[in-house]
Amino acid sequence: MASLNAKSNLLLLSLLFLSLTTLLTSADKKPVHLHFYMQEKVTDPNATAIVVAKGPIPLPGTPYRFGDIAVVDNALTKGPYLDSGLVGQAQGLFTVMKSDLSVIWTFNIVFTYGENNGSTVAILGRDAITQPSRELTVVGGSGIFHMAQGYLLIKTYSVNIASGDAVLELDLYVYPFKK
């Protein structure tokens, strides 16, 4: 009986130790912070965001309609200007909502330059475009961002209300997967 108790105490202790180490390592993780800009060009020629399905209901004060679906291949740059150095591309889709001027993004950040070249970060989330800062979710990644977690903050740097052309400021906080 005594030895059984000792055994279960040992088991409890090792379980406690295991959960403590898990807690400590997850609290220990620091996000990688990457800062860059997204160049969204809606107008021809050389559009990088094109509406492929047009919704029926215009949204006043915007070039968009409720239900629009756009395919996006936007340049990601180091600075706010198109010629300020490429970081990669934002490739995916957004769909336009109605009630609160928001769009739902599903896209990949595809790094094509620098130390992250070849890796991707997958983003899903809600972008309420009139808000000063919007938080989207990192749902995964590939390469050095394999199984990553994190979040993406989007701010509007500049926008042409008539055309929809915009420059967005992106702050990506990504916690790389650690074994």
Ligand X SMILES: *[C@@H]1O[C@H](CO)[C@@H](O)[C@H](O)[C@H]1NC(C)=O
Binding site for ligand X (CB under 6 A): 45-46, 112-113, 117-118
Looking at the Cβ atoms of 75 and 101, the one nearer to ligand X is 75
Nearest-angstrom CA–CA distance, 16 and 161? 57
Looking at the Cβ atoms of 58 and 118, the one nearer to ligand X is 118
To ligand X, the closest distance from the beta carbon of 117 in angstroms equals 4
Tokens representing residue 133 in the block: 């800062």
Looking at the Cβ atoms of 61 and 85, the one nearer to ligand X is 85
To ligand X, the closest distance from the beta carbon of 114 in angstroms equals 7
The CA–CA distances, whole Å, from 142 to 6, 38, 61 equal 46, 20, 38
- Given a contact cutoff of 8 angstroms between Cβ atoms, the answer to whether 154 and 136 are in contact is yes
To ligand X, the closest distance from the beta carbon of 118 in angstroms equals 5
Nearest-angstrom CA–CA distance, 133 and 121? 20
